[in-house]
Each structure stands twice: as structure tokens, then as C-alpha cells.
Structure 1
Amino acid sequence: MACPAIDMRRVMLVCCLLILVGFSGTGNVSARPAEDSGSGPLFGGQWSWVNNSSYQNSDLNSLPAIAEDYTATWCTNCVKVESALQELDDEGILQKYHFHRNNDHEDPFGSDNTEDHFKQRYNTGAPPIVVMNGTIKKIGSIPDSDSLKTDYHTMANQTLGISGNSTFTWTPQGNNSGMISWAIETDLSRYEGYEMSVNAWVVEESAEFREGSNGKEIYPNIVREIINLGSEKFGSSNIDIPVAFDGNDLQIHLMYHFAQMENSVDEPVDDSSEVKERALPNVSALASLIVVIFAAMIRKS
């Protein structure tokens, strides 16, 4: 009567091995290379503290690459993305801005205003998503090269090739408002088919949120509001400043957005990168469990 028991163990052993082989294929998530964002260029980055007056005239070629990072305070994968961006920001390679998910009970920094910006331009999926100069985006946190820093550095080096200059003036008017003036001199003929809009980004240098489950606690360079100033190449506008989440560290940044004039159909949102990355620990745990069962069967046989 021992033979049937041995046969049953062999059958169970084969089944476990087949399951292990089947799941091993899902554990190797390929890197997501940078891709076209499907949107037009975005550049600028001249800025001032909201409480200080400022006048700046800059060559467009001298302005840093603009990195827009879609993130959340619960997103653990976002931490290494933001660390790589911070290193490049510190080195002067780029200027980074963080857009937080809206309508998220675990993240207090998002808003309809900033969420709409990211969704309309880049078809927002699950964080992390990094867009460089409005034209190139990378989804997820798995590097396509030797590191995320190298990936983002390569993206930042793909310049827009825009020449000319931009003038930015900011004059505060009390604690909650100010006047912004701008002028851009450049040949826009290469972007025929695109419409330019001038925008003021209100950015909070940093804010504290200890309840964030990704453990950062201090969240930097948060885009709090985007104010459309129109489509003229020069002008002035009085704008209201939102209240800071904490502290007194709001900034005003001048940005030029380009969007296609034609109405395009929204592409389906792709959450696969985040789903796959979150699934990896579960696959590993299952594989470990199967190995334990396999070892126990060998000892009994």
C-alpha cells in the first residue's frame, strides 16, 4: 500500500514544480524605456520667492531641463525615483517638480488643478511617472540602463533646441497676491500646429506629512497650483497665491506650455507598471513557499 502514497507525492511534486515555472516568468518585469509623451514641449523655470521682487532675463538655452514627477505619499517606488531626480537637480542638470495624486486620502498635496494638468498632457496612470521637457516620459521605477539617474540624465540631455530669451518679473502685492510679467523672444515656426500658453506655477519648497506611508515625511517641490496667463508672447497679470500647506516657502515659476491644436482622443490609462512592480513580492513569496513544500516532500520520501 506504500506505492500509491509515493505516486501521490510525485504527482504533487510535479504540480508544484509546474506552478513554480509558470510564476517564474511573471517575476522578470522588463524595464519600461522612455517614450514619447504625446504632448508638446514645456520649458521655462525662472522663479522667485512669492515675498520677494525679482527680474530675470535668460537665454532659453541656459534654462534647465524641466522634470515633472507624478507621485504620491504612499508610493514606495516613487522614493528611489525622487532620489535620482534630486541628485540631478543638485547637479544643475534639471529642475524638478512633484505633482501629487488628487482625491487620495493618503496624500494631502494633490488638487483638481494639478491633476488635470498631468492628465490632459500625459494621460496619467499610476505613479511614478516622470516627464522631461514635456515631450519624453518614463513610467515606473525600473531603470532601462544601469540606473534611474542615468535614464533621467539621458532624457534631460534631449534638448528642445529652442533659442531666444525669456524675461520674468515678479512683484509681490501683500501676502496673497502679486504681479507677474513675462516676455519671450523666439522663433515658434518649428512648433506650427501647437498652441503656446504662458503659465505661473505656484510651488511649495517643502511640506511635512509624517503620515505618508512611503516614509519620506518631508516632501519637496510640490506644485500647488497652475495659473494660465494666456497665449501672448508678452504681458502682465495680477494673480492670487494659495495658502501654503505649512511654513512660508511658496515660490512662483514661469512656464511655457505647448499643446497640439487638434483635439485628440484620450488613450487608455496604463497602470501595468505599478501593478507589476507591486506584484513582485507576492510572486517571490509564493515561490519560496513552493520550495519549502518541495523540500518537505523530499525528506518524507
Structure 2
Amino acid sequence: MSNDPAPPTPLSHPAFYGAEQEAGFVEDHAHTSPQQRDPAYELAFRDTDFLLRQELRPVRFQLELLKPEMLLDEAGIASTLVIYGSARIPAPDAAQGVIDAAATPAARKIAERLAAKAKYYDQARRLARLAADANVTESGKRHFVVCSGGGPAIMEAANRGARDAGADTIGLNITLRHEQQPNPFVTPHLSFQFHYFALRKMHFLLRARAVAVFPGGFGTFDELFELLTLVQTGKMRPIPILLFGGEYWDKVINFRAIAEEGLIGFDDLDLFHRVDTAEEGWARIVDFYALETGD
């Protein structure tokens, strides 16, 4: 047996062992006593039942804030192009199937309206492709990385468009009672799942440098109006906010009437722009930031 001393610890090493190492020490020892087998003895950060207790909600908030922030930073993503929109609008090749599946005349009318909106799937996919093709980088960090809610329909179109260009793409899924799988075009290491809507919406906007909003329902309205409120109140700097499908938005929300009632200012109507094509939307982003596009 050698009596040679152990090599000195490099100065760069921390004085304390890391949590992963400490957890390994625990695994190296059999839990043979009643005390060791009781859940109270489990390391707190490895005790799932403890972490899920109601009193630990603030800790879960912090974890849900930190995990995507750290991983996106490690991936070199400085900013995003966020694309919101309905989870019900079909891809063009699936539009007829939506109509054919309608069981009643009333359902068929609704299905026909949804099928007519399949054009927005193409526009969302095209917009994402334009952003990805632009490949805007600065100091080694990537800008306008496409980010969606990670689900189907318009969200799928957004992620798909970026993948068409071979680019990474982000998906921010939410846990729901009805299962929502990440769409297959989200980059796996940039696919996140949230429990809290509030934290998910925060992450949509923390890196957003432009937001495209396609026709959608309650969720899309919620995301749009929170964004407009943040910019209107000065909590967030102005960014391009693009409403795709002027006909739809003019039909479902009378923004001018809100201004005429005195409940918002007429200048608030300039916080967003109606656009109809991906090219028009991307041109507004390029103009806003004076981007060098290489054209």
C-alpha cells in the first residue's frame, strides 16, 4: 500500500461538494434503518412529494423561471420571434378532412371557416422560415429564434418553418387536462413544459423582439392583450406586434371603438400593425431594427 499523499486539490475547485456529488454519497450507502427509509430523511431537493406540497409553490415558481432562462442562455439565444395563434387551424393538406369530419350542418359551417384559415398555417410557416433564413447573430448570440407554444396548428407551423431552414426552434408547452404533446418540429433541447401559465407567458416575452399574432381564441387573446398592456404602460419597450389577418381582427375586436369610447388613446392603435403576408410582416421587423438582410 502506497503512503504517497493524495494530490493537492486544484485551487479552482470549490471547497464544498456539489449537490450531485452529495446525492451520490447518499446512493453509495444502503438505507437499512427505519430512520433512513422514512421520507423525512430524503434530501429535500430530491424529495418530489415535498417539492409538490402547496407551501412550496414559491420554490416551483422560481424553478420554472430559472430552468428555461438558464438553458436558453446556454444555447446562445439572445432574442426570439414569438408566434402566437390557434391550436385549431388545420394545415392546408388537412383542411378538407376537418370539413369531412363535421357531423352536423352547423358543425360543417364552423369546419369550413376553420378550413378557410388554413392559409394562415402557410403564412406562419413562411414567416418563421424568413426569420431563420436571415440568421441574425450578434457577438455569437442568435436573434429572432422562432418560439411558439409548442403545440399543433399555428404553433406547429411556426416551428416547422424554422426547421425547414435547418434552424433551432423553441416550444413552450403547458400542462393541460387534455394532453398536448410537443409538435415534432420543436428542437428537443429547446422544448419546455410549464405548469404555470404566468411563467410561460413571461418566458414568451423575456426574449421577444417581435411578436406575430395569428387568428386564435381565448389563449391568443390573453397573450396579445397582456403584451399590448405591457407596452402601453411602459413596462416593456415597444417591439413589432403584427396581427396577421386584418379581416379576422377587425371582425372580432373593434379596437377603434375602444378608443372612441375613451378607454384607450388613439395613439394606442399604433402599438400594432395588421399584416396579411409573411413577407410584409418580416419587412416590418427588418425596418424596425434596421437589419442588414443581405438582399
Q: Identify whether the pair has TM-score above 0.5, normalized to the shorter chain.
A: no
The structure carrying a bigger helix percent of its residues is: 2
* More RCO (CA 8 Å, sep 6+): 1
